[in-house]
Each structure stands twice: as C-alpha cells, then as structure tokens.
C-alpha cells in the first residue's frame, strides 16, 4: 500500500522499520475501568508489539517514550535482534506526571528518528534534567528536506493516549514536519469513551492512507488493543 507524503513505494519484504512507540503515562492512565488499569493494558499491548516484532522482523529497531507533561525516553532505540530484554524491562511500571503533552512526545520521537541535536541546557539543574526529561521546542529546527526516509528504512510512530493534549504548544507543526519527512504516524485513543480523547486533533496528527482513510482509531477494550498492536507489529505491505 502506498501512503501520502512517501516519496517511494513501501516494500514489506525489503524495507526494515524504525519504530518509536509513545505511551501516555499521565494520571488518568491509572483509572481502573480497564482492569487493573488503562496503563497496564497499554503496557501489555506494547509488550506483545515488541515480542511480535522480534519474532517476525528482528532486524527492525524500536524505542519507547513515556509522556505526560514531559516526555521521557524509557529506552533508546535498539535492534530487536538483541534488545528485547532491555525494552521489556523499560516497561515495568513507568512513572508519569500531571497533564498530557503530545508535542513533547512527538518532538522526542523526532530527535530519536533523525538524531537531531538539542539546544544546550543553561545552568546545572537544566543540564541534569536534559538527560531525563524533554519538552517541546527544545530542538533546533532543520528543514524537512534534509531528513528523508533513508533507503531501506521506514520510520514509524505509534502514539497512544487516553486523554487530550492540554499543555505545551500545538502538536500539528511537528506532526506535519514528521509526515513530510516520510514518517508514518498511527494514533490510538483508549479508555471508556471516544469523548474522553481529542479525536479531532489525533486524526490531524495521524497519517492518511492513499485511499484517504486516517490511521487513527479509538479502542475501548484491552483485547482489541492487543489485536491492534499485533497488527501494527507487522511491516507495512505494498498494494
């Protein structure tokens, strides 16, 4: 299948993938309408994603970001052939903070996917935080045409949330920059009701398929989330 903003046709058999999975770890993810919690449901789904990718596509790379008010790199991107143990360890009860910042998560994913250089931190406290927490607009902006989906590697993002973007700058600028650079973005809303997430914004962040359909969905059931992540673990297939 061919996607908008892609310069070349995607080959499932020849093109390895570089995936960043972004997990909302704000306080509402501790709600127990998904037993035991929404966060636990998201973690289990990501565990299955990692295991499935390692089984079917061990040459792929994967990194994990947790986000609330800030975004934190829970695990650096690694090749799944030898990095599964560390990735699974990073998913053991990640702690978040208040608020939800899609922009910070997407900015940090962009840094990982394209190895962008961060602006130098000022002061001791800022330098300490610089290795732990990331916020939006911390990076030097480089033109999209300097990125590009390198030959042989498809860059992808999966963003999961149970709420709304409620702090930081608008995420549409970085989302547009990522998509123009050839990154495929899937957005997933979870929880009790689609009314609890900003579906309008998430649909704008998500990539579009060549048939016009949007790579966003709301999932209100843990088992359906597991199925979704299993499907997302597979390579994008050409038409």
Residue 237 forms part of a structural domain: no
The first and second tokens of residue 158, run together, are: 């999966």
> Is residue 138 scored above 70 in pLDDT?
no
Residue 12 lies in a domain: no
164 within domain boundaries: yes
Query: Is 4 a residue whose pLDDT tops 90?
Result: no
Give, for 66, the enclosing helix (H) or strand (E).
strand 61-67
How many domains would you assign to the chain?
Answer: 1
Q: Is 238 a member of any domain?
A: no
CA 171 distance to own-chain centroid: 13
Residues 69, 32: Cα–Cα separation, whole Å: 21
What's the pLDDT score for residue 239? 43
- Answer whether residue 5 shows pLDDT above 60: no
> In terms of residue numbers, what domain contains 142?
17-232
- For residue 202, the model assigns a pLDDT of 98
The pLDDT tens digits of the residues spanning 93-112 come to 899 889 999 999 999 999 99
Q: Is residue 8 part of a domain?
A: no
Sign of the torsion angle spanned by Cα atoms 220, 49, 183, 136: positive
Q: Which helix (H) or strand (E) element contains residue 230? A: helix 222-232
186 is a domain residue: yes
Q: Which of 59-73, 82-96, 124-138, 185-199 has the lowest mean pLDDT?
A: 124-138
Q: Is the omega angle on the peptide bond into residue 36 within 30 degrees of 0, that is, cis?
A: yes
**Distances 171 to 165, 178, 239 between C-alpha atoms, Å:** 8, 11, 30
Q: Which of 24-28, 117-121, 191-195 has the lowest mean pLDDT?
A: 117-121
Domain assignment of residue 169, yes or no: yes
Distance CA 138, CA 118 (A): 6
Residue 7 in domain: no
pLDDT over 50 at 172, yes or no: yes
Residue 177 has pLDDT above 80, yes or no: yes
**CA R_g for the chain:** 17
Smallest CA-to-CA distance from 207 within 178, 165, 166 is with: 178
Q: Which of 7-21, 39-53, 140-154, 210-224 has the lowest mean pLDDT?
A: 140-154
Joined together, the tokens standing for residue 141 give 């902006």
Q: pLDDT at residue 70 above 50?
A: yes
- In DSSP notation, 107-118 reads HHHHHHHHTPPB
CATH number at residue 52: 3.40.50.410
Categorize the per-residue pLDDT at 126 as very low, low, confident or very high, splitting at 50, 70 and 90: very low
For 16-52, how does the pLDDT look when each residue is reduced to its tens digit (9 = 90+)? 999 999 999 999 999 999 999 999 999 999 999 999 9
Of 18-22, 139-143, 156-160, which range is least confident? 139-143
**Res 116: pLDDT:** 65
């Amino acid at each position: 299948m061919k996607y908008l903003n892609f310069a070349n046709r995607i080959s499932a058999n020849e093109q390895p993938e570089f995936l960043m999975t972004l997990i909302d770890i704000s306080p509402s993810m501790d709600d127990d309408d998904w037993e035991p919690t929404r966060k636990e449901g998201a973690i289990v789904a990501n565990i299955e994603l990692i295991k499935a990718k390692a089984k079917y596509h061990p040459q792929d790379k994967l990194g994990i970001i947790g986000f609330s008010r800030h975004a934190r790199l829970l695990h650096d991107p690694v090749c799944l052939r030898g990095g599964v143990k560390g990735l699974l360890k990073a998913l053991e009860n990640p702690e978040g903070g208040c608020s939800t910042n899609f922009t910070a998560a997407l900015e940090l994913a962009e840094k990982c996917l394209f190895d962008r250089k961060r602006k130098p931190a000022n002061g001791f406290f800022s330098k300490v935080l610089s290795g732990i927490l990331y916020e939006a607009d911390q990076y030097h902006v480089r033109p999209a045409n300097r990125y590009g989906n390198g030959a042989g590697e498809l860059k992808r993002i999966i963003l999961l949330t149970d709420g709304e973007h409620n702090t930081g700058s608008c995420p549409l600028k970085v989302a547009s920059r990522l998509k123009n650079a050839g990154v495929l973005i899937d957005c997933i809303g979870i929880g009790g009701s689609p009314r609890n997430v900003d579906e309008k914004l998430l649909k704008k962040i998500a990539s579009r398929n060549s048939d016009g359909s949007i790579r966003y969905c709301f999932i209100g059931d843990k088992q359906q989330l597991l199925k979704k992540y299993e499907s997302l673990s597979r390579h994008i297939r050409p038409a």
